[in-house]
Structure 1
Amino acid sequence: MTVPVAIPRYPDEVTAAWLNGVLDTEAGTRVEDVQVKAIGTGQTGATYRVNVDYAANPTGLPGTFVIKLPATDDTVRDRVVLGYRSECAFYESVVDRVTVPTPTCFHCEISDDAAEYALLLTDQSPAEQGDQINGCSLEQARSAAVAIAGLHGPTWAQQEWLTFQGLAMSLLDDASKKGLGDVAVLSADITIEKLGDKLSAEDQATFREAMGLVTPWLQNDFGRFSLIHGDYRLDNLLFHPDDGRIWVVDWQTLGVGLPARDLAYFVATSLEPQVRAEAERDLVAAYHRALLDTGVVDYDLETCWQDYRYGMLQVLLISALGFAFAVGTDRGDDMVATMLRRGCAAVRDLGTIAQIRVEAGP
């Protein structure tokens, strides 16, 4: 195929000519016309649905695609260029080696400075994005717990991922872990100030105490690591309304760490505290079985449960980092307040702070 020189920057640049340059036209495919319409929230990028009219389509390519382009707001784009690089790296180098369900990628292109990129994916409609504020059903939570094992298991304890160039954040040395710990404390202060009385005094105290432990938390992964999504929550999942299938999207926070951090983050942010407390043992067990099915060995259920408890700090850390330095919106404020309220309750219920202090030692 002939790939165009220019990466489309705006939706009107996603033309029939551009698609003919990136799709399998050697097989005789020819796009005649396209219609592009904005979808999604656009928080870290601009997402569009592309309806395609073919003059010829011998291989049966889809009639609609989803394309992700950089954010139209330059301040947002500058903040998330590492995320663009991370997402492209996932689709170029990781997706074929894992079993986590994701949309099929038809084209991925990124500039040298990572400021411009285009990611052409299958349109999973009628699947719908999860609702972070409303939460999800236990059936959906179980599906999500099983799905993320498809990322963790195939990359479990493989040294190559520690230095993978596509990581959004690499924390291999103590200095970088301390640096993130310092930023976490600052982020908590900013987040509490921005949210005001949306967070109770009890949650504010839990939040501040937990963020003061980020450095020792990061320093102890018990020798267990894999690739992690990093922001594994409902807004980054698509659910089919009829058959229960799900797809994981938005791979802009790809990292390496204690695998159960993803699971803890999802469960705590997706379920109200009472529901979470009643269901989390079963959800951890479902995740653990799925891990073993991928070939993970020497990892018992009780250890998985303790990792889940320990990983709960992920909820507060990612919520703070993503919110403190972003431009606020009414829905964004409510969403983060909901995530932090649920997460702080989980940290308290599970004794995560005491667990971290014990593991950190004197």
Structure 2
Amino acid sequence: MGDNGIEVEQLVRDFKGGVRAVDGIDLQVAPGEIYGFLGPNGAGKSTTVLVLTTLLPPSAGTARVAGLDVVKQGAQVRRAIGASLQESALDPFLTGREHMRLQSALHGLGKAEREQRGTELLERVGLTDAADRKVGGYSGGMKRRLDLGLALVHRPRLLFLDEPTTGLDPQSRAALWDEVRRLAGDGVTVFLTTQYLEEADVLADRVGIIDRGKIVAEGSPAELKAEIGRPSVEAIPQDPGDHDRLAAVLHRFGEAAAASPNGVAARMPEGVSDLAEIVRTLDSEGIAIADLRLHSPTLDDVFLAKTGRSLEGAGDESDRARQEEQTSSATVAL
């Protein structure tokens, strides 16, 4: 793997009391890739990031980040990466510009370069107008954008973002997505953890789905959804007496036409392109339709197929693991 990549083999992280938060995972992230690490709260996402950023030692297995061993070469790893983690370490009494100066000083930038880099990054994350306001008055979205800017001070080629849009409004979330895309366009490798299906779908080149400490699926969003199957169509007749006739028509177009909670559902052989023909056929057969819906596979369908439950309803990691994770600061002075 190149200098900007990540290699993980059989990574394990245990906590006191026999709690295994990360359970023997393998993954590879290519240089310049946006890798989405998707899973419910407590699945092991943040624990994995804390190990990869050297803030927690692994219990077993190996991990190399930017070509460096996270245990044997921890200091070098920290110099090579940027990270914005869940719990903010921002000082509410400092301004955005003062945070930039402090972070730049920690990375050894000279005074003139600190000012230049801070101004550049504040503009990049859309905080120029708020640069001299105290962070205590920032909105949640502004704080997350400042976190991101601080993580970029030393121009890392590999960036960890741990649930960067949790709690943000749609506008702030979209702005952060745009910045992640720009970073990837500049060749930065991005390891992004998220519990949001849409976020992983629209941003990630590849997705690893983690549940209860294990990676249960991995691939591009399109590949993962294709594994689930083709789109399905569900139709509800206006006249319940047309149910059998409706089922017969859908059976001509799809596979496994069967009763659904409200009507008839069938998986489509040709995807969306067949929907118009179905409507024409139903009309010619004199079958009036109250509702016709096409459902394309989603990443939640992938999670459901792999785990037997919806991502939104999935369980929690132990409180013990969560508490130990929270002892680490958020935007790390790497």
TM-score norm. by structure 2 comes to 0.25
Which is richer in strand?
2
Which is richer in helix?
1
TM-score norm. by structure 1 comes to 0.24
Structure of greater Rg: 2
